[in-house]
Amino acid sequence: MRVLSGIQPSGPLHIGNYFGALRQFLALERENDAYYFVADFHALTSVRDPRLLREYTHDVIVTMLALGLDPERATLFVQSDVPETTELAWLLSTVTPMGWLEKCVSYKDKVQQGLPAEHGLFAYPVLQAADILLYDADLVPVGQDQKQHLEITRDVAERFNHVYGGERGVFRLPKPSILETSAVVPGLDGRKMSKSYGNTIDIFDEPAVMRKKVKKIVTDSTPVEAPKNPETCPLFGLFSLFAAAEERALMDQRYRQGGVGYGEVKTRLAELMIAHFEPARQRRAELLANPDHVRAVRSSAAARARATARAVLDRARAACGVG
């Protein structure tokens, strides 16, 4: 299967990105033809400092490599290295009804959070559809919040196929892959962990910072002896992502019985988290010391990605009669 996904370089990646998206990227690269990219065109809707955008873009590639993505297996590229993307986005936009974009929750959310209501933000899902359709993707691993964008991608593909596709269609219809257990990773305040809420624990936060942030995770005021409900506790939610099955089951039981204090859970969670990312932290230090290697990965991936993209774009151009 062709697997494809992207992540915006709009800041350091956090634990929500890891469990919602990156961990799936790692699992899926083994047995599939995987394409993963840094969505820098998309990030332009929120990052307006060119130096910072370049830095974040480099950092996302480093993070993916440090976590163990194998650039020999997966094509790890940068969106803007494939300019065919924006051309396809235009072709798709000509068959996308305004109403589909108007109902997008993420656009409405971002405007409500204070981002200006610009055309790029509004048309964001069309660019995302181009990202996906340009590589004939079958499966797109993402977190729950991207579900609507995947639906729009399918709708746009079907519409284009209907208008121009004839018998065989132009685009392959992709499916999302959303892991139930980590569809929405909670942040420090109990809401969805997200850069825009300032409630993240970053994958490469220093251990001391991780410990400090874990202490801040919101908990209620249930006393130590009282029984607690693990299902509604964001601290337990995070703990259960890092703990092995046995330890998780035991903690679940202790929550329900009473007798466990939140302080104890936090100390253990911080330990588990730091240990989990330790090997990646070391690889990251090596990669940061070797930017030429990272640049070489980027440019060879760009060549591979462009070759795939060109063929699909040509198919779309021919179907609609341009060129």
Binding site for ligand ADP (CB under 6 A): 7-8, 10, 16-17, 19-21, 142-143, 145-146, 182, 184-185, 192-196
DSSP per-residue codes, 56-73: HHHHHHHHHHHTT--TTT
Tokens, residue 112: 């409500």
Instruction: Residue 202: name its binding partner from ligand TRP, ligand ADP, none (Cβ under 5 to 8 Å by kind).
Output: none
Tokens, residue 154: 């399918």
Return the SS3 of 255: helix
CB closest to ligand ADP, residue no:
20
- Angstrom distance (rounded) from CA 233 to CA 219: 7
Report the residue number, 35 or 160, with the smaller CB distance to ligand ADP.
35
Instruction: Residue 39: name its binding partner from ligand ADP, ligand TRP, none (Cβ under 5 to 8 Å by kind).
Output: ligand TRP
- Shortest reach from residue 214's CB to ligand ADP, in Å: 16
- Shortest reach from residue 187's CB to ligand ADP, in Å: 7
- Shortest reach from residue 227's CB to ligand TRP, in Å: 38
Judged by the rule CB under 6 A, the positions of this chain that interact with ligand TRP are 5-8, 39, 42, 128, 131-132, 140, 142, 146, 149
Positions marked active-site: 110, 192, 195
CB closest to ligand TRP, residue no:
6
Task: Please count the residues of the chain.
Answer: 323
Q: Strands across the sheet with 139-141, in order?
A: 75-78, 33-38, 2-7, 139-141, 175-177
Report the residue number, 85 or 161, with the smaller CB distance to ligand ADP.
85
Report the residue number, 186 or 230, with the smaller CB distance to ligand ADP.
186
Buried b (16+ CB within 10 A) or exposed e, 179-198: beebebbbbbebebbbbeee
- Shortest reach from residue 4's CB to ligand TRP, in Å: 6
Report the residue number, 192 or 298, with the smaller CB distance to ligand ADP.
192
DSSP character at residue 173: P
Kind plus residue range of the DSSP H or E element containing 37: strand 33-38
Kind plus residue range of the DSSP H or E element containing 75: strand 75-78
